[in-house]
Amino acid sequence: MKNKTIILLVTICLVSTFNPSANADHHELGEFEDHRHDTPKTTEGAKRAPQSATISSEVIYGQSGDQLHKGYLSQPENIKAKSGLIVIHEWWGLNEDIHLMADQLAGLGYDSLAVDLYDGKSAEGVREAFQLMTGLSKNEDAALANLKEAYDYLTNELGVEKVGIIGWCLGGKWSLRGSLMLPNEIDATVIYYGSLIDNREQLATLEMPIIGFVGTKDRPYINQFIQFDKDLKALNKDYSVHFYEGAGHAFSNASGTAYEPEAAEDSWKKTVDFLAAHLD
């Protein structure tokens, strides 16, 4: 009985030391709440078969300071791609499910580079994912440098003529921020939910077509997307934002338990058509 009591006390202490409100803004806290019971389970969307054959490898796509950036590169097997994609993972990190999404994108004819914003780390649980996400938010310059290295790799090493950027959840946030960093270089931007920016002066610099997706029950981000829609409309940008009635956060993630097939498949079809219109 004594040993059981000690184990219980240690467990209580470990749980009580994790206080998400101490490390995050209210949007990140909302995301934590929506993911509280989530796990990085492979979703049906990640299991789609690529439309054509692909080849893949792990690559070093750049370096920032002493940090080498290692990612997953998937390419069409039978054609030389003219366009490339920067593929940005969810808050779980660069896992095998994001590899599968890169394969699907490569099957459409694009050199698809899945970047690693966590520098080799990934999460198997919500607490770890939250800590990785908030740690990244505290070092945005490093994340942007990482994405710039990915862009340079696609254009300089692989020689693509156009570059798009796509991300889900945490990746949606960085898809927009990468586009703001390279407003004249990125040729197409895809944002699946994630934290946005409501500064019209910054958004005015965007020159590429943009498509965004969000569920109306996405508590952390629905209001941001409503404002984003208004801002881009006022700025007369080439964009579309799609709101999925009743869908929650992470409805189209490659990993997780919040997958909603109808919204996920519709948004994927729109993504495929969007990329074909602007990168082919």
pLDDT in tens, 222-274: 999 999 999 999 999 999 999 999 999 999 999 999 999 999 999 999 999 99
Average of per-residue pLDDT across 192-196: 97
In a domain, 273, yes or no: yes
In a domain, 247, yes or no: yes
Average of per-residue pLDDT across 44-71: 97
Name which of 114, 145, 117, 144 is nearest 132 in CA terms: 117
In a domain, 17, yes or no: no
Cβ proximity of 117 and 31 under 8 Å: no
Average of per-residue pLDDT across 107-126: 97
In a domain, 9, yes or no: no
Helix (H) or strand (E) holding 228: helix 222-234
What CATH number is associated with residue 183?
A: 3.40.50.1820
Question: Is 93 a residue whose pLDDT tops 70?
Answer: yes
pTM: predicted TM-score of the whole model, two decimal places: 0.91
pLDDT in tens, 162-174: 999 999 999 999 9
The CA angle 263-264-265, to the nearest 5 degrees, is 95
In a domain, 67, yes or no: yes
In a domain, 2, yes or no: no
In a domain, 4, yes or no: no
The pLDDT mean for the chain works out to 92
The whole-angstrom separation of Cα 61 and Cα 94 is 14
Average of per-residue pLDDT across 115-137: 96
Q: Tell me what pLDDT residue 2 has.
A: 43
Q: Tell me what pLDDT residue 33 has.
A: 75
- Give 24's pLDDT tier (boundaries 50, 70, 90): low
Q: Tell me what pLDDT residue 272 has.
A: 98
Name which of 57, 181, 173 is nearest 117 in CA terms: 173
Average of per-residue pLDDT across 3-31: 49
Chain centroid offset of residue 151 CA: 15
Q: Is 99 helix (H, G, I), strand (E, B) or coil?
A: helix
- Please state, for a pLDDT cut of 70, what percent of the chain lies above it: 89
Name which of 186, 156, 184 is nearest 174 in CA terms: 186
In a domain, 16, yes or no: no
Cβ proximity of 111 and 89 under 8 Å: no
Domain that holds residue 238: 23-279
| Structural domains in the chain (count) | 1
Q: Which residues pair with 4 in a beta bridge?
A: none
Cβ proximity of 87 and 175 under 8 Å: no
Cβ proximity of 209 and 238 under 8 Å: yes
